[in-house]
């Protein structure tokens, strides 16, 4: 029995956990992989306050985790299968069969990379198709790679990959990039990054591993081939909400709808971070939402 169970140990979940455990509320974070969430996929975080020289995603994750544990917070490795509601109690069931009863759940399960859903993508995942430049970039030393997407993540990944690869193609479906202007400038000034706009990937091809992409020009619909050694897919995020089985209100893309107190449509269930529908997806906003969820969860517990 824990007063609060937090699903997900990214910046939102850890911030909520730090707040609650500092206030002596027994709090358990259930995390599928390692604490840090998408922060772990970022080499250097430059827009989180307090670190004038930037901080690695790994180090910031470790610091937040240490702070949570220091105040008595507990972390359990496991994947949530479902949430069951019984009167005022909530039960969190893990895939290994374990169950935890709690008064309050804070969902901070974040988001994962969206798939392109093109032929060859699944087949070559781990054989040249990657969703994480930080994890796999070093395998492509002096090779030629492509990044698909035009948002902040795609541009950051292209810049990161240029540290290893000889050439990085940035393939985006429109003429205009979505990424922040300063990132666009940095990529445009990088001699190793070549923009391929407006193109989509139709197919990923190869024998044992990825060898080339079939691309389609979005203006004239012409098809071309692009020889590459690897492709990094950075085409946005999908919320990690499979375990909810439709019990919470979401938008059409599956992002959880919350009010300004981070309350969902079920009393005692809060949500925060990249899993919610909102306007800004940043580490600092995730932390702030985690703190808000914790604050109102604490008020809810006081009134039980
Ligand atoms: P994003 O901003 O949603 O960008 C996704 C990109 O992928 C868009 O350019 C989109 O094209 C493209 N795309 C989507 N579906 C596609 C498909 N099926 N085929 C080809 N291209 C496709 O996602 P993100 O870059 O992962 O960023 C997520 C959030 O985190 C954003 O709010 C971002 O600002 C934030 N973030 C911030 C930082 C930072 O502050 N340094 C770093 C990383 C992420 P269209 O443009 O045509 O829609």
Mean predicted confidence (pLDDT) in 264-282: 97
Mean predicted confidence (pLDDT) in 81-94: 93
Q: How far is the CA of 177 from the centre of ligand 1 (A)?
A: 9
Residue 56 pLDDT: 96
Mean predicted confidence (pLDDT) in 192-207: 98
Residue 263's pLDDT band (boundaries 50, 70, 90)? very high
Question: What is the pTM (predicted TM-score) of this model?
Answer: 0.91
- Of all protein residues, the one whose alpha carbon is nearest to atom 43 of ligand 1 is 153
The angle at the Cα of 116, spanning 208 to 131, to the nearest 5 degrees, equals 65
**Using an 8 Å Cβ cutoff, are 192 and 166 in contact?**
yes
Residue 88 pLDDT: 78
Mean predicted confidence (pLDDT) in 73-95: 95
Residue 169's pLDDT band (boundaries 50, 70, 90)? very high
Question: Does position 1 have pLDDT exceeding 60, yes or no?
Answer: no
Each residue's pLDDT tens digit, 123-161: 999 999 999 999 999 999 999 999 999 999 999 999 999
Question: Does position 87 have pLDDT exceeding 90, yes or no?
Answer: no
Mean predicted confidence (pLDDT) in 80-94: 93
- Of all protein residues, the one whose alpha carbon is nearest to atom 3 of ligand 1 is 236
Atom of ligand 1 lying closest to residue 183 CA: 41
Atom of ligand 1 lying closest to residue 281 CA: 32
With a Cβ cut-off of 6 Å, ligand 1 is lined by 47, 116, 148-154, 156, 172-174, 178, 200, 234-237, 281-282
Question: Does position 2 have pLDDT exceeding 80, yes or no?
Answer: no
**Given ligand 1 and candidates 121, 134, 150, which is best to mutate, with the most ligand atoms within 8 Å of its CB?**
150
Q: How many CA atoms lie within 13 A of 185 on its CB side?
A: 3
Tokens of 292: 């808000």
| 3-state class (DSSP) for residue 36 | coil
Domains contained in the chain, CATH given: 2-113+237-302 (3.50.50.60), 129-233 (3.50.50.60)
Q: How far apart (Å, rounded) are the C-alpha atoms in residues 185 and 52?
A: 22
| 3-state class (DSSP) for residue 184 | helix
Q: How far is the CA of 152 from the centre of ligand 1 (A)?
A: 6
Q: How far apart (Å, rounded) are the C-alpha atoms in residues 295 and 217?
A: 50
- Of all protein residues, the one whose alpha carbon is nearest to atom 28 of ligand 1 is 236
Q: How far is the CA of 302 from the centre of ligand 1 (A)?
A: 40
Atom of ligand 1 lying closest to residue 116 CA: 18
Q: How far apart (Å, rounded) are the C-alpha atoms in residues 29 and 108?
A: 10
Q: How far apart (Å, rounded) are the C-alpha atoms in residues 100 and 53?
A: 41
Mean predicted confidence (pLDDT) in 207-220: 97
Helix, strand, coil shares of the chain, percent, nearest 5, are 25, 30, 40
**Using an 8 Å Cβ cutoff, are 205 and 103 in contact?**
no
Q: How far is the CA of 104 from the centre of ligand 1 (A)?
A: 32
Atom of ligand 1 lying closest to residue 45 CA: 41
Residues catalogued as catalytic: 132, 135-136
- Of all protein residues, the one whose alpha carbon is nearest to atom 46 of ligand 1 is 178
Atom of ligand 1 lying closest to residue 235 CA: 7
What is the residue-averaged pLDDT of the chain?
96
**Given ligand 1 and candidates 152, 218, 283, which is best to mutate, with the most ligand atoms within 8 Å of its CB?**
152
């Amino acid at each position: 029995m824990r007063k609060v169970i937090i699903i997900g140990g990214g910046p939102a979940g850890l911030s909520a956990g730090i707040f609650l455990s500092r206030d002596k509320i027994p709090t358990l974070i259930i995390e599928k992989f390692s604490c840090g969430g998408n922060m772990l996929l970022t080499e250097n975080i430059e827009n989180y306050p307090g670190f004038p020289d930037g901080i690695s995603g790994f180090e910031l994750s470790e610091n937040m985790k240490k702070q949570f544990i220091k105040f008595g917070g507990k972390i359990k490795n496991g994947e949530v299968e479902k949430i069951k509601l019984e009167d005022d109690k909530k039960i969190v069931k893990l895939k290994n069969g374990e169950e935890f009863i709690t008064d309050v759940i804070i969902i901070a399960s974040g988001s994962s990379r969206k798939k392109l859903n093109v032929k060859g993508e699944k087949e070559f995942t781990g054989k040249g198709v990657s969703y994480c430049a930080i994890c796999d970039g070093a395998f492509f030393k002096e090779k030629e790679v492509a990044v698909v997407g035009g948002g902040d993540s795609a541009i950051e990944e292209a810049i990161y990959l240029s540290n290893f690869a000889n050439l990085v193609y940035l393939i985006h479906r429109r003429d205009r990039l979505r990424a922040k202007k300063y990132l666009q400038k940095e990529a445009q000034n990088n001699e190793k990054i070549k923009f391929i706009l407006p193109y989509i990937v139709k197919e990923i091809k190869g024998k044992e591993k990825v060898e080339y992409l079939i691309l389609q020009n979005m203006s004239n619909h012409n098809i071309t081939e692009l020889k590459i050694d690897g492709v990094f897919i950075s085409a946005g995020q999908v919320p990690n909400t499979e375990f909810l089985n439709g019990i919470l209100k979401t938008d059409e893309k599956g992002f959880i709808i919350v009010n300004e107190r981070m309350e969902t449509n079920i009393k005692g269930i809060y949500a925060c971070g990249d899993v919610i529908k909102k306007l800004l997806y940043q580490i600092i906003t995730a932390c702030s939402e985690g703190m808000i969820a914790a604050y109102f969860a604490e008020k809810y517990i006081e009134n039980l």
